[in-house]
Chains A and B, each alone.
Chain A
Amino acid sequence: MLEPVSIVGLSLGYAALYPYAYGSSAISSEARAVREAVSAVVESAERSQVLFGEKSVAISQIVSLAKECAETGWDGDEAAPINQAVIHTAVKFIRALPNDVPLPEFAPEPDGSISLDWIRSRNRLFSLSVGSTNRLAYAWLDGSDRGHGVAQFAGERIPPRIIEGILGIMNHGNVTLRS
Chain B
Amino acid sequence: MVTLPSGLEEIIADDEDLARYLTSSSQFNATMVKPAAFLPNPKDRETSVFRHGSEPRDRLWAIGVEHAAGGRNLHGAAICKAHHVREAQLEVTADEPPPRHAAIRGWPFSESDPELQKARQKELAAVIASKAVVVHI
Contact = CB atoms under 8 A, between A and B. Distances in A.
Given A76-B70, A138-B122, A119 B32 contact: yes
A127 B122 contact: yes
Nearest to B72: A76
A150 B116 contact: yes
Given A106-B26, A111-B42, A146-B127, A137 B35 contact: no
Given A115-B36, A129-B118, A80 B24 contact: no
B31 A119 contact: yes
Contacts of B68: 76-77
A139 B35 contact: yes
Contacts of B70: 73, 75-77
B118 A68 contact: no
Taking residues whose C-beta sits less than 8 angstroms from the other chain, chain B's interface range is 35 or more
Interface residues of A, number: 42
A155 B9 CA distance: 51
B118 to A, nearest CB: 4
A9 interface: no
Interface string B106-136: 0000000111111110110111011000000
A123 interface: yes
Interface string A100-142: 0000011111110101010101110101010101011111110
Nearest to B21: A76
Nearest to B32: A122
B37 interface: yes
B34 A105 contact: yes
B20 to A, nearest CB: 10
A115 B123 CA distance: 13
B54 interface: no
B93 interface: no
Most buried by B among A121, A125, A133: A125
B128 to A, nearest CB: 11
Contacts of A166: none
A119 B29 contact: yes
B127 to A, nearest CB: 7
Q: Which 9 A-B pairs have the closest CB atoms?
A: A76-B70, A137-B119, A137-B118, A139-B122, A148-B119, A139-B123, A115-B36, A107-B36, A135-B115
12 contacts: A75-B23, A76-B68, A76-B72, A77-B48, A106-B26, A110-B40, A115-B122, A119-B34, A122-B32, A139-B35, A141-B130, A148-B122
